[in-house]
Structure 1
Amino acid sequence: MMNSFMKIAGKIGAQKHLVAIRDAFVAMLPLTMAGSVAVLLNVFFRDIPNNLGWTSFSEAMKPLIELNGYVYFGTIAVMALIFAFALGYNRAQHEKVNPIAGGLVAFGAFVATIPQTVKIITELAGVDKTVIEALKKLGLTLLQEGGKTNLETSQWGAITTAYAGATGLFTAVFIGLISSEIYCFLMNKKLIIKMPENVPPAVNKAFAAIIPGTIAIYVSALLGYLPAILAHIPLNDLISSYVQKPLMGLSQGLGSVVLLSFLVQLFWFFGLHGHNVLGPVLDGIYLPALFENTAAYEASRSVEHLPYIWTRGSFDAYAQMGGSGVTIALIIAIFIFSKRKEYRTVAQLSAPMGVFNINEPVTFGIPMVLNPLFAIPWLIVPPICCAIAYLATVSGLIPPVYQQIPWITPPGLYAFLATGGNIMAALVSLFNIFVAFLIWTPFVIAANKVEAVED
Structure 2
Amino acid sequence: MNGLVNWMEKYVLPTAAKIGSEKHLVALRDAFISMMPATMAGAVATLLNAFMRDFPNTYIGEGNKITAFFEPVIGINGLVWTGTLAIMAVIFAASFGYNLAKAYEVDPLSGAIVSLVAFIMGIPQTATTALELPEKISKEAVNIITSAGAEVAVKDGVQTINTAGWGFFPFSKYMGATSLFTAIIFGFVSVLIFAFLMKKNIIIKMPDSVPPAVSKAFAAIIPGAVALYVSGIIYFVFEKFVGMPLIDWITETIQKPLLGLSQGYGAVFIIVLLVHVLWFFGLHGTNIMGPVLQSVYGVAMVENSNAFQQGQAIPYKWVAGSFEAFVWPGGAGVTLILLVTILIFSKRADYKTVGKLGIGPGLFNINEPVMFGLPVVLNPMFGIPFVLAPIATATIAYFATVAGLVKPVVVNVIWVMPTMLSGFLATGGDWRAIVLTLVNLVVAFIIWAPFVIAANKTEIID
Choose which of 262, 266, 269 in structure 2 pairs with 1:255: 266
User: In the alignment, does 2:421 pair up with 1:410?
Assistant: no
Q: Distance in 1 between matches of 2:241 and 2:142?
A: 31
Q: 1:278 is matched with which residue?
A: 289
Specify the SS of the correspondent of 2:127.
strand
Amino acid at match of 1:95: Y
Q: 2:136 is matched with which residue?
A: 129
Q: 2:4 is matched with which residue?
A: none
Mean Cα deviation higher: 248-257 or 218-227? 218-227
Q: Distance in 2 between matches of 1:48 and 1:236?
A: 36
Q: 1:265 is matched with which residue?
A: 276
* Contact 1:84 1:110 (8 Å CA) reproduced: yes
Q: 1:21 is matched with which residue?
A: 28
The 3 A distance-change label for structure 1 pair 24 and 134 is same
Specify the SS of the correspondent of 2:458.
helix
Q: Distance in 1 between matches of 2:50 and 2:72?
A: 15
* Contact 2:152 2:160 (8 Å CA) reproduced: no
- Moved >6 Å (runs of 4+): 141-144, 147-150
The 3 A distance-change label for structure 1 pair 178 and 143 is farther
* Contact 1:88 1:176 (8 Å CA) reproduced: yes
* Contact 1:120 1:153 (8 Å CA) reproduced: yes
* Contact 1:118 1:156 (8 Å CA) reproduced: no
* Contact 1:143 1:151 (8 Å CA) reproduced: no
User: In the alignment, does 2:333 pair up with 1:322?
Assistant: no
Q: 2:199 is matched with which residue?
A: 188
Q: Distance in 2 between matches of 1:447 and 1:28?
A: 42
Measured after TM superposition, the shift of residue 407 of structure 1 is: 0.1
Mean Cα deviation higher: 175-184 or 368-377? 368-377
* Contact 1:46 1:58 (8 Å CA) reproduced: yes
Q: 1:8 is matched with which residue?
A: 15
Q: Distance in 1 between matches of 2:141 and 2:380?
A: 81
Choose which of 41, 59, 71 in structure 2 pairs with 1:34: 41
Amino acid at match of 1:109: A
Measured after TM superposition, the shift of residue 119 of structure 1 is: 3.5
Choose which of 67, 70, 79 in structure 2 pairs with 1:61: 70
The 3 A distance-change label for structure 1 pair 210 and 42 is same
Q: 1:95 is matched with which residue?
A: 104
Mean Cα deviation higher: 399-408 or 91-100? 91-100
Choose which of 242, 248, 269 in structure 2 pairs with 1:237: 248
Q: Distance in 2 between matches of 1:150 and 1:160?
A: 23
Q: 1:199 is matched with which residue?
A: 210
Specify the SS of the correspondent of 1:154.
strand
Amino acid at match of 2:392: I
Measured after TM superposition, the shift of residue 143 of structure 1 is: 10
Measured after TM superposition, the shift of residue 201 of structure 1 is: 0.9
Measured after TM superposition, the shift of residue 8 of structure 1 is: 0.5
Amino acid at match of 2:42: G
The 3 A distance-change label for structure 1 pair 47 and 188 is same
RMSD of aligned alpha carbons: 2.3
Q: Distance in 2 between matches of 1:381 and 1:316?
A: 14
Q: Distance in 1 between matches of 2:152 and 2:205?
A: 53
Measured after TM superposition, the shift of residue 153 of structure 1 is: 3.2
Q: 1:179 is matched with which residue?
A: 190
Q: Distance in 2 between matches of 1:150 and 1:37?
A: 42
Measured after TM superposition, the shift of residue 112 of structure 1 is: 0.9
Q: Distance in 1 between matches of 2:153 and 2:263?
A: 39
After superposition, where does 1:206-225 map in structure 2 within 5 Å? 206-225=217-236
User: In the alignment, does 2:44 pair up with 1:45?
Assistant: no
Q: Distance in 2 between matches of 1:241 and 1:321?
A: 34
Measured after TM superposition, the shift of residue 151 of structure 1 is: 5.4
The 3 A distance-change label for structure 1 pair 35 and 132 is farther
The 3 A distance-change label for structure 1 pair 405 and 131 is farther
The 3 A distance-change label for structure 1 pair 446 and 143 is farther
* Contact 1:114 1:224 (8 Å CA) reproduced: no
Measured after TM superposition, the shift of residue 149 of structure 1 is: 6.8
Q: 1:114 is matched with which residue?
A: 123
Amino acid at match of 1:399: K
Specify the SS of the correspondent of 1:374.
helix
Q: Distance in 2 between matches of 1:442 and 1:386?
A: 20
Measured after TM superposition, the shift of residue 141 of structure 1 is: 6.3
User: In the alignment, does 2:393 pair up with 1:385?
Assistant: yes
Q: Distance in 1 between matches of 2:174 and 2:338?
A: 44
| Cα shift readout 1:388-415 (whole Å, capped 9, x = no counterpart) | 0111111111111111110000002000
Q: Distance in 2 between matches of 1:56 and 1:77?
A: 28
Specify the SS of the correspondent of 1:412.
helix
Q: Distance in 1 between matches of 2:101 and 2:334?
A: 37
Q: Distance in 1 between matches of 2:76 and 2:164?
A: 30
> What is the TM-score when the length of structure 1 is the normalising length?
0.94
Specify the SS of the correspondent of 1:373.
helix
| Cα shift readout 1:389-442 (whole Å, capped 9, x = no counterpart) | 111111111111111110000002000001100110121012101110011001
Mean Cα deviation higher: 429-438 or 226-235? 226-235
Measured after TM superposition, the shift of residue 60 of structure 1 is: 2.2
Q: Distance in 1 between matches of 2:408 and 2:87?
A: 22
After superposition, where does 1:386-401 map in structure 2 within 5 Å? 386-401=394-409
Specify the SS of the correspondent of 2:457.
helix
Q: List runs of 5+ in structure 2 lacking aligned partners.
A: 1-6
Q: Distance in 1 between matches of 2:21 and 2:263?
A: 27
Choose which of 440, 444, 447 in structure 2 pairs with 1:436: 444
Report the identity percentage: 47
Size of the aligned set, in residue pairs, is 448
Q: List runs of 5+ in structure 1 lacking aligned partners.
A: none
Amino acid at match of 1:59: A
Choose which of 338, 358, 377 in structure 2 pairs with 1:369: 377
